[in-house]
């Protein structure tokens, strides 16, 4: 199942204005720290145009809870540094994946 987290802070418009043009640099910095931490899951980042979120992160793979927690912490730290040490909080977002292939093992068995 894909994972998504959205980060929120106090001034979303101003902070999104800082993050949006720097998104490629932020992704590169996140990638370096993920590789240094031996986390090989691809992390997608996006800056929404409205709402309370300043950035959302996603992974189409199914990392372990420990891996996802580490990846979330890395993204949060990189973004916090970019914004001048603002306090962020994240929350999981429900999502589904369309047009994905599954195998019989993914279906499991009912007891």
Reported as a single tens digit per residue, the pLDDT across 6-44 is 787 778 899 999 999 999 999 999 999 999 999 988 999
Overall domain count for the chain:
1
CB-based contacts of 67: which residues, under 8 Å, 6+ apart? 39, 41
Nearest CA to 77 out of 17, 110, 21, 36 is that of 36
Task: Identify the domain containing residue 60 by its residue range.
Answer: 3-107
47-85 pLDDT, tens digit per residue, is 999 888 899 898 878 888 899 899 999 999 999 999 988
Residue 107 has pLDDT above 70, yes or no: no
Query: What's the pLDDT at 103?
Result: 53
Residue 71's CATH number:
3.30.70
Spatial contact of 5 and 57, defined as CB atoms under 8 Å apart: yes
């Amino acid at each position: 199942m894909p994972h998504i987290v959205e980060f929120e802070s106090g001034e979303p418009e101003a902070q999104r204005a800082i993050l949006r043009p720097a998104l490629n640099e932020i992704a590169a910095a996140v990638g370096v720290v993920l590789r240094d931490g031996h986390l090989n899951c691809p992390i997608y980042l996006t800056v929404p145009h409205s709402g309370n979120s300043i950035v959302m992160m996603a992974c189409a793979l199914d990392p372990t809870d420990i891996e996802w927690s580490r990846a979330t912490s890395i993204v949060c730290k990189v973004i916090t540094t970019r914004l001048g040490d603002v306090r962020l909080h994240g929350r999981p977002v429900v999502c589904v994946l369309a047009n994905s292939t599954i195998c019989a093992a993914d279906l499991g068995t009912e007891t």
